[in-house]
Structure 1
Amino acid sequence: MIIKGEDLTVEEVVNVAVRGEKVKLSNTAIEKINNSRRYVEKIIEKGEIVYGVTTGFGKFCNVVISPEDTKKLQRNLIRSHAAGVGEHFPEEVVRAMMLLRINALAKGYSGVRLSTLETIIKMLNENIVPLVPSQGSLGASGDLVPLAHMVLVMMGEGEALYKGEVLPGKVALERAGIEPVVFEAKEGLALINGTQAMTALACLSISGAINLSKAADISGAMTFEALNGIIDAFDEKVQRVRPHRGQRAAAENMRKLLDKSKFISRQGHYKVQDAYALRCIPQVHGAVKDALNHVKNVVEIEINSATDNPLIFPEEGKIISGGNFHGEPVAINMDYLAIAVSELSNIAERRIERLVNPSLNEGLPAFLTRNGGLNSGLMISQYTAAALVSENKTLSFPASVDSIPSSANQEDHVSMGTIAAKKAWKIVENTLNVLAIELLCAAQAIDFRFEEGGCFKDLGKGTKRAYELIRDVVPKIEEDRVLSEDIKKLAHLIKSGELVKRVEEAVGTLE
């Protein structure tokens, strides 16, 4: 993948972070990086006072640093800011952080040497993954703490995962044949002053959430069939008079998935209206789709931005201190993502309840087991879904409305964007498992419909393929068994993208 600093996409971030695609800089990026560095060196030669280049940091911005202490200043910055605690970020998050920092520096506004940037590129391509604690960032001045832990390994310090082994940073670099970096003026600050921890989480979360949005349409369509839902609610005429893009897309998805189904009903055949969890799928899933589209747009602007401070404009001959490190755009949108994905789990859990509850499930056996009492069937799967949904509700409380001043009140408003992003990441994981439970219950319910006289060929074009995939992974539940393994297998079917991919082969692209 060619890194230009300009047009990186969420999908490309996932390809590098998860699938291990290699990267290199474009020639244009190399030229910009070199121009920016030459300007920094001119400033140093002139002895000008520039924040983070010839001064201390934060509240120490008025302390002038002598030229002979320049290297020590940058080294001390990284060591002092590596104050993180808690569990380490997963490997894919750290790889995404590395890629995003490379992309930001490739824009040529940060003043690092080309050789410094090439070191982090080599680390990424060799899959040297620094161990980065997940707690400690305020989301302004960027993700200082997690990025400092990432950068420690570039210096030959800290720890890293390399070829399945946790090693001291120096040893990991040696084994990969990479020389540690001795940072020059501005470089340490340029490497840690940005939003790359929160945006790494954001990229992976929004990618997962978009996949979940489509998977929720599939699981919702299966439940709709199992409960003989009334298809009229998804009519294009209904959507046309309230033309939100997401609502229309969700309704179209449902019509595609349920096309040719003989299990669905029409208005007035058996009942006049369905409950909201069925009838309002386009409205709820559609609102989520609109939110995800907005969040993805914001994230892609952010990952192609210069979030350093100060910023260097060599063509204009200026170095300007600003606030591009502030994570507020990401923070607010990660809170928005958290709320949106929580709603997918909320409505899915209500559909699960309708499947297992004999008072609501249109004549299906209680808890979807034939010999109830001796068997509990899928009773407790709904408990798990309810627990996950409840956890999502607590995680959906916004982080971006909080701020605690730091650096002796020099940094008096912060975004808490990384906390927002971590919560959104967790909600995506929880919702994945709720949808896996819905698939498990919906397939079981459909099996009982088959016993009533329906058959596999009576399913919709999309739900038929989904049912087939589910039964390839987990068999029908004839009597009680451990359900956690079934849920795990179905969660993998969703997370891998296989469910959506294979269903789309049958019905066309889902939005």
Structure 2
Amino acid sequence: MKTAPDGTLETGAPIVIDGNTLTLEDLHAVAVEGSGVALRDESLRLMAGSRELKVDLVAEGHAIYGVTTGFGDSVIRQIAPVKSAELQHNLIRYHMNGTGPSTPPDVVRATLLIRANCLAKGNSGVRPEVVARLVDQLNLGILPRLPQRGSLGASGDLVPLCHLAASLLAEGDVTYDGRLRPAGEVLAEVGLAPLTLEAKEGLALINGTSFSSAFAALACLGATRLARIAELSTAMASEALLGNRGHFAEFIHLAKPHPGQVTSAREVARLLTDSKLALDHSQVIELTGGLGGEEYAELKRSIQDRYSVRCAPHVVGVLRDTLDWARRWVEIEINSSNDNPLFDVAAREVHSGGNFYGGHVAQAMDSLKVAVANIADLLDRQLELVVDEKFNNGLTPNLIPRHAPTDWRAGLHHGFKGMQIACSSITAEALKTSTPASVFSRSSEAHNQDKVSMSAIAARDAFQVVSMAEEVAAIHLLALCQALDLRGTAQASSRTRAAHALIRERVPFVEDDRAMESDIHAVVELIRSGALISVTSPAAPAANGHGGE
């Protein structure tokens, strides 16, 4: 739950889930902000109905995949109904072999929420109390430890989700009150008895795409913020480089009307509206000096900026348009029945299929991470122009403060040289990590799972690329603030001054060489919290202070 400034729990309305209406914004409220969760009454009725059908079919002696048969290629082996509950517990235990780092807490919360929401749709044959337990653990902050490696994204995210399911049985480890502890110990402490699963319930908990979708949902949200941050960075870079804001004129972009490109150009133009550093095309022309009656002249000011500034809307626009469909696909996924088999109460039938296949998540994340990695590369290229005295139009080398040759400090400092090196390294890693995962399908499980989606790897990669792009953006924004200080912030636009002021509240001007790791962390937090977007939004009051030289 959300914590108020006085340390008490806030009692705002919880996010109500029903398997159909969960949005990415709802997910952010729960996974990142800590909102509570509740189940819609209609979902309780639907879950009870599909569970009743399951019980009837089992009693009639039907061979039902994973309920009265073995799993995977063991489907040919049927068991008596009396064995069905123990089968579910064994299913969870033999998949508890995940490796790699533990999943971040916000992703774990998202996973719990998505799995509860998918089962709340009411097609999976589980008791309402199973889903209620997922909700209880989420609301109480009991987070199972989920190793990140082991999922093929078909038959769902079996390995990580079995670690989630095990916590309901009081097995495995959970994080509670900031400490990793045995699940049984924590459940006993909060008064929750271990669940005893019945037929199908173990399979319903682990046979789905909720782990992949959690990474994917949070990657989409992060990438949505990054698009706005890239536009802010482009506006500030245009100012730092004494650029031509005519490059963002609507006429140009409506002539090639990709929606994301048009929106991106419009946003950069808005951010630069009253800038005295990045000028309109007509103003730039006036400053060139022209021919002056001669047949040849070198212009005093370039009328065209380099691609990383001039073509920024074309790069950010790709991300915006990718997000348009990627977000839609992910929202469909987190509101789907993605386990197997499914129970059709109206027809009194059970259906075996493959809704656990994470193909849409994998394709969306493979595309998203490429678009985000391109944003990192774009910002890294802008940074190179800003710090390099050969290209930065009169700024100091590596943005060092200006010192007279007689000043002792002259020649001793290197400013943002190391920051540009780090930024280039992070960008290279983001580009490497953007390799598609969905094309690396493997045949496994005795060739039963012979074509798999790799959605978990694709989504984890996308989440990681977004994180690295945030670090790139943070370094670039720090350099841009330094550049605007050197130019004179009073000449910057009101919107970029607002961003500069917010960053300067947390990070001082770099007067002498010093460690800047904490500076990067501070600006990454401003990016992730949405604070930088808020202060530069159309609704925010325009900055009216003066600063700089």
TM-score band by shorter chain is: over 0.9
Q: Deviations over 1:454-505 (max 9, x none)?
A: x52x221211111111111111111111111111111111111111111115
Among 20, 23, 35, the residue aligned to 1:21 = 35
**Kept in 2: contact 1:257–1:507 (CA 8 A):** no
1:249-260 equivalence runs, <5 A: 249-260=263-274
1:163 aligns with 2:177: yes
Among 487, 490, 493, the residue aligned to 2:523 = 490
Could you tell me which residue of structure 2 aligns to residue 294 of structure 1?
Answer: 325
Could you tell me which residue of structure 1 aligns to residue 512 of structure 2?
Answer: 479
1:59-70 equivalence runs, <5 A: 59-70=73-84
Could you tell me which residue of structure 1 aligns to residue 478 of structure 2?
Answer: 440
Give, in angstroms, the shift of residue 219 of structure 1: 1.5
Work out the CA distance in 1 between the residues paired with 2:164 and 2:348. Answer: 31
Work out the CA distance in 2 between the residues paired with 1:463 and 1:436. Answer: 15
**Kept in 1: contact 2:385–2:392 (CA 8 A):** yes
Among 268, 277, 283, the residue aligned to 1:263 = 277
Work out the CA distance in 1 between the residues paired with 2:389 and 2:541. Answer: 35
Give, in angstroms, the shift of residue 362 of structure 1: 0.5
Q: 2:363 is aligned with what amino acid?
A: I
Could you tell me which residue of structure 2 aligns to residue 389 of structure 1?
Answer: 427
Work out the CA distance in 1 between the residues paired with 2:390 and 2:396. Answer: 10
Could you tell me which residue of structure 1 aligns to residue 294 of structure 2?
Answer: none
Partner SS for 1:305: coil
**Kept in 1: contact 2:244–2:305 (CA 8 A):** yes
Work out the CA distance in 1 between the residues paired with 2:385 and 2:435. Answer: 27
1:35-434 equivalence runs, <5 A: 35-267=49-281, 268=285, 269=287, 270-369=301-400, 370-371=402-403, 373-434=411-472
**Kept in 2: contact 1:330–1:417 (CA 8 A):** yes
Work out the CA distance in 2 between the residues paired with 1:46 and 1:506. Answer: 63
**Kept in 2: contact 1:403–1:414 (CA 8 A):** yes
Partner SS for 1:407: coil
Work out the CA distance in 1 between the residues paired with 2:512 and 2:462. Answer: 36
Q: 2:413 is aligned with what amino acid?
A: N
Work out the CA distance in 1 between the residues paired with 2:265 and 2:87. Answer: 58
Work out the CA distance in 1 between the residues paired with 2:145 and 2:245. Answer: 51
Partner SS for 1:175: helix
Q: 1:464 is aligned with what amino acid?
A: R
Q: Deviations over 1:97-151 (max 9, x none)?
A: 1100110001111000112221111111111000110000000010000000000
Tell me the TM-score normalized by structure 2.
Answer: 0.90
Partner SS for 2:500: helix
Tell me the TM-score normalized by structure 1.
Answer: 0.97
**Kept in 2: contact 1:142–1:327 (CA 8 A):** yes
**Kept in 2: contact 1:256–1:507 (CA 8 A):** no
Q: Deviations over 1:424-469 (max 9, x none)?
A: 111111100111111111111111112xxxx52x221211111111
**Kept in 1: contact 2:215–2:459 (CA 8 A):** yes
Work out the CA distance in 2 between the residues paired with 1:58 and 1:292. Answer: 35
Residue identity over aligned pairs, in percent, reads 40
**Kept in 2: contact 1:190–1:308 (CA 8 A):** yes
Q: Deviations over 1:179-227 (max 9, x none)?
A: 1111000110011110001100011111111111111111111111011
1:462 aligns with 2:462: no
Work out the CA distance in 2 between the residues paired with 1:306 and 1:258. Answer: 46
Q: Deviations over 1:400-428 (max 9, x none)?
A: 00111111001100011100111111111
Give, in angstroms, the shift of residue 373 of structure 1: 3.2
Partner SS for 2:303: coil
Partner SS for 1:486: helix
Work out the CA distance in 2 between the residues paired with 1:242 and 1:505. Answer: 25
Could you say if the C-alpha distance between residues 264 and 434 of structure 1 is closer, same or farther in structure 2, counting changes exceeding 3 Å? same
Work out the CA distance in 2 between the residues paired with 1:446 and 1:361. Answer: 12
Give, in angstroms, the shift of residue 507 of structure 1: 5.8
Partner SS for 2:53: helix
Work out the CA distance in 1 between the residues paired with 2:236 and 2:165. Answer: 48
Work out the CA distance in 2 between the residues paired with 1:302 and 1:206. Answer: 13
Q: Which moved more, 1:174-183 or 1:261-270?
A: 261-270
Partner SS for 2:355: coil
Partner SS for 2:537: helix
Work out the CA distance in 2 between the residues paired with 1:137 and 1:254. Answer: 41
How many residue pairs were aligned? Answer: 504
Work out the CA distance in 1 between the residues paired with 2:360 and 2:169. Answer: 31
Partner SS for 1:411: coil
Work out the CA distance in 1 between the residues paired with 2:247 and 2:380. Answer: 20
Give, in angstroms, the shift of residue 265 of structure 1: 2.6
Work out the CA distance in 1 between the residues paired with 2:183 and 2:276. Answer: 61
Give, in angstroms, the shift of residue 506 of structure 1: 5.5
**Kept in 1: contact 2:243–2:279 (CA 8 A):** yes
Q: Which moved more, 1:190-199 or 1:12-21?
A: 12-21
- Greater C-alpha radius of gyration: 2
Partner SS for 1:504: coil
Work out the CA distance in 1 between the residues paired with 2:219 and 2:256. Answer: 29
Q: Please list every run of at least 4 consecutive aligned residues from structure 1 whose deviation after the TM superposition is greater than 6 angstroms.
A: none
